[in-house]
């Protein structure tokens, strides 16, 4: 009877999960983007009820963004044995876009964590934890039960139980599996394979094995024996004696830097952009003095403190509004340019995990002070990894500003599917002839700033680019246009 009851419970749970999954499949991507940083999407689950184990739920890594195929476990909010209520945050998952909170849709108890905190590159659908209905059921699940999702340490799997040291050494000397990094170190230092021990799966010799041997000096004697016959004079002998110390110092300088999911996606998208998007580059120097004077007046007369970048965002947004053919994107399916309904400016923000591009939506309709406040809020959320999908997905045009660094001008890479990105350099004092009120030319010092447009040549041609820069230059020279 107990088995029949468990089977009926499992079938009921399966029907509910399928029904909920069907409802979720009809949700539009735009609605998903508006959900924010908390996700309550149906979890990839599997209900089991088998002899020896109580009814339990195996939960897989969810897809928390349209482009996510793997993720990292940033932090577990619940621990094994904790009670789980509907809506409780179970863990924080680092996706290809941001770090998001994973909420539960089921009640129960967390029986087993399959992907420990800090797990990297966990594939979507791969089991990450197991839940049960009753607290007592946790004791009925043996600790060594495998659900297919445990992150185990790399160990040789084909060796016999409790192998002796001599056997391990013999296997490692005849190993056929060598990692590329280990092979490079062996070749660089001329090491003897017979003195190395492999710790990787199936007897694979890893880079760490070679570095450990170099650091301990266990292979220095064999290296000397190899080099001794070729060193008859005293001077080469001193060189060979100094070689192990030099080798050890070089080995200590190696460091593997882990790559975040965000940086992996950025690298992939930028490569695709350069390979598939025909980049057109246009540049122009604009006089920055009217903007600086306007910024100073806002602070002194109205107590409004804004940055140069805030005013640049407004100036670019007005130029895009006046040249709507520049505020467009390339539709690959229709093979034609399509104009955007709104002016949404993406701004590049550097974070520890990579470059994020939060969006100022309808920037042409907002005041400079409103833009300034929104930029600060979005930048803080980007650096904390708390941006919601609707705050960084989309956008019609990007701005990358390196004016705070000693960078005079640069060319940025287009962020698909957008058709343009404006690279902003720093302002520099230059001397050039100007016409005074009397109509006479005289030398004067002015502040100039370099602007470089990277545009999709399928959307932008020379005429559209010229019209855009004409409007943009007018916004800088006649700053009052931004208040209209």
Within 13 A of 445's CA, how many CA atoms are on the CB side? 3
Q: Is 235 exposed, middle or buried (0-12, 13-18, 19+ CB in 10 A)?
A: exposed
* 178 and 205 Cβ atoms separated by less than 8 Å: yes
Q: What are phi and psi of 311, to 5 degrees?
A: -70, -35
Q: From the CB of residue 286, how many other CB atoms can be counted at a distance below 10 Å?
A: 22
Q: Is 461 a catalytic residue?
A: yes
Residue 74, classed as helix, strand or coil, is strand
Query: 439 Cβ partners below 8 Å, 6+ apart?
Result: none
**CA angle at residue 202 from 199 to 204, to 5 degrees?**
50
> CA 238 → CA 190, 226, 244, distances in Å?
18, 15, 11
> CA 233 → CA 75, 230, 238, 347, distances in Å?
61, 9, 9, 66
Q: Which residue is catalytic, options 82, 252, 461, 478?
A: 461
Q: Is 279 a catalytic residue?
A: no
Q: Which residue is catalytic, options 279, 289, 409, 457?
A: 457
Whether the CA torsion 206, 211, 212, 214 is positive or negative: it is: positive
Q: Which residues participate in catalysis according to the annotation? A: 457, 461
């Amino acid at each position: 009877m107990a088995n029949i009851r468990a089977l009926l419970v499992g079938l009921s749970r399966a029907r509910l999960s399928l029904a909920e999954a069907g409802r979720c499949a009809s949700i539009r991507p735009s609605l998903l983007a508006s959900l924010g940083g908390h996700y309550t999407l149906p979890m990839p689950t599997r209900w089991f009820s088998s002899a020896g184990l109580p009814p339990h739920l195996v939960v897989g890594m969810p897809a928390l963004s349209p482009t996510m195929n793997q993720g990292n476990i940033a932090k577990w909010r619940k621990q094994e044995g904790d009670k789980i209520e509907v809506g409780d945050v179970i863990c924080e998952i680092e996706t290809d876009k941001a770090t998001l909170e994973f909420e539960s849709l089921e009640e129960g108890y967390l029986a087993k964590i399959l992907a420990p905190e800090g797990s990297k590159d966990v594939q979507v659908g791969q089991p990450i934890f197991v839940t049960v209905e009753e607290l007592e059921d946790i004791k009925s699940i043996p600790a060594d039960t495998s659900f297919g999702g445990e992150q185990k340490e790399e160990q040789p799997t084909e060796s016999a139980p409790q192998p002796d040291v001599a056997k391990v050494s013999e296997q490692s000397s005849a190993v056929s599996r060598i990692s590329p990094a280990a092979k490079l170190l062996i070749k660089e230092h001329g090491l003897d394979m017979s003195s190395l021990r492999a710790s990787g799966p199936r007897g694979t010799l890893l880079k760490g094995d070679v570095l450990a041997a170099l650091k301990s000096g266990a292979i220095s004697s064999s290296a000397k024996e190899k080099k001794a016959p070729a060193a008859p004079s005293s001077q080469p002998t001193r060189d060979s004696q100094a070689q192990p110390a030099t080798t050890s110092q070089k080995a200590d300088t190696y460091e593997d830097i882990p790559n975040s999911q965000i940086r992996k996606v950025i690298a992939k998208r930028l490569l695709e952009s350069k390979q598939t998007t025909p980049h057109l580059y246009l540049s122009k120097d604009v006089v920055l003095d009217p903007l600086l004077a306007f910024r100073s007046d806002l602070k002194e007369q109205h107590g409004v403190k804004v940055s140069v970048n805030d005013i640049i965002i407004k100036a670019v947004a007005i130029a895009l509004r006046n040249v709507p053919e520049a505020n467009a994107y390339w539709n690959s399916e229709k093979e034609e340019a399509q104009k955007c309904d709104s002016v949404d400016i993406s701004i590049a923000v550097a974070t520890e995990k990579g470059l994020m591009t939060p969006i100022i939506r309808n920037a042409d309709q907002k005041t400079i002070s409103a833009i300034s406040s929104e930029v600060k809020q979005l930048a803080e959320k980007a650096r904390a990894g708390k941006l919601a999908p609707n705050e960084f997905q989309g956008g019609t045009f990007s701005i990358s500003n390196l004016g705070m660094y000693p960078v005079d001008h640069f060319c940025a890479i287009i962020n698909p599917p957008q058709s343009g990105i404006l690279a902003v350099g720093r302002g520099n004092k230059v001397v050039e002839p100007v016409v005074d009120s009397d109509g006479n030319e005289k030398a004067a010092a002015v502040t100039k700033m370099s602007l470089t447009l990277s545009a999709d040549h399928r959307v932008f041609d020379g005429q559209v680019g010229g019209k855009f820069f004409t409007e943009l230059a007018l916004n800088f020279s006649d700053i009052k246009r931004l208040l209209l």
